[in-house]
Amino acid sequence: MTEAAPFHQLPGDARRPARAFWARAEDGVRLRMACWDGGDGTAGSILLFPGRTEYIEKYAPIAQLLNAEGYDVLAIDWRGQGLSDRLQDDPRPGHVNDFADYQRDVVEMVVAATELDLPRPWHLLAHSMGGCIGLAALHADLPVATAVFSAPMWGVNLRQMPHGVALGIAYLAGRLGHGGRSAPGSGAVGAYMLDEAFSANLLTGDAEEWCRLLREAAAWPDLTIGGASYHWVSRALNECSRLDRLGSPDLPMTVSLGSEEKVVSAAAIRSRTARWPNARLLEIEGARHEVMMEAAPLRDMFLSAALERFRDG
């Protein structure tokens, strides 16, 4: 865990870089993690679970805002993305063998947090696919005091396609030997920011944040991935269905949902929140999928609610 790993910064970025390092999961997959130190008098630590396609550097601005509030932040590149090991010869599709494998990565995060002696209490902050992984981790007794979710993938927005049809297509593609290929409609072949116009993007309405992400994708292509593989799609749909059948964890939770959400299922988020004691649903008018990458008024609305949850439980 002590072996240093690269951490990228754009030219002119004056932020203090995170301390990045390598870890290795039980099945041999090499993972990259990074820690931002909150300094003296810390209020606790946050385990940051990114979404699909994401990488550690993307959350540097958020981590430093959390540092300013006294929290250490530990983030991860999930297997198959960022600088963690890719899982097939073609590195472009987002791919995983089984969603349960992400829990191996979570175990290594907990090990790293323990070895780093990160201040307690620990809290979960999870976005999109990280919210799916995070809910599963809470059911496996992730040692956190509270949880905050941003547009969690507790269901996938399939638009007009029935769930069974999408699952059947993905399953058939796998049977035909195409499970590692990008599924149509799951995202761009390359980095989303490089293939999509700002006006049509589903992630953020903030032009400055979009430009930052665009610059990062152009500067660091090795960190990016494209659309999800057929195999990922089938496993994701199955995992969302599995989690939906489970009860809600017994800990305080806040979840945000933007009015312009088009990536994950808003109905699944509302349904889960209604079944979760001591839960708060924060609906943010004008926000797209990535509220932490929105303009300051929307981002700060979310962060204020997250900090309130972390402080008060």
pLDDT surpasses 70 at 170? no
146 phi, psi to nearest 5 deg: -145, 170
The distance from CA 7 to its chain's CA centroid, rounded to whole angstroms, is 18
pLDDT at 59: 98
Decide if 266 contacts 159 (C-beta within 8 A): no
pLDDT surpasses 90 at 84? yes
pLDDT digits (tens, 9 = 90+) for 185-224: 655 556 888 888 999 999 999 999 999 999 999 999 999 9
pLDDT at 146: 98
Amino acid at 206: D
Please give the residue that has the higher pLDDT: either 298 or 180: 298
Fold of 19-312: Rossmann fold (3.40.50)
Please give the residue that has the higher pLDDT: either 172 or 218: 218
Question: pLDDT class for 176, splitting at 50, 70, 90?
Answer: low
pLDDT at 40: 79
pLDDT digits (tens, 9 = 90+) for 117-161: 999 999 999 999 999 999 999 999 999 999 999 999 999 987 766
**Mean pLDDT for all residues in the chain:** 92
Give bridge partners of residue 129 from the DSSP assignment: none
> Which residues does 224 contact at the CB level (< 8 Å), separation at least 6?
53, 55, 190, 191, 217
Rg (Cα) of the chain, in Å, rounded? 18
* Cα–Cα distance measured from residue 213 to residue 192, given in angstroms and rounded to the nearest whole number: 10
pLDDT at 32: 98
* Cα–Cα distance measured from residue 306 to residue 308, given in angstroms and rounded to the nearest whole number: 5
pLDDT digits (tens, 9 = 90+) for 30-78: 999 999 998 876 899 999 999 999 999 999 999 999 999 999 999 999 9
pLDDT digits (tens, 9 = 90+) for 265-291: 999 999 999 999 999 999 999 999 999
- Quickly tell me which residue has 């870890």 as its tokens: 23
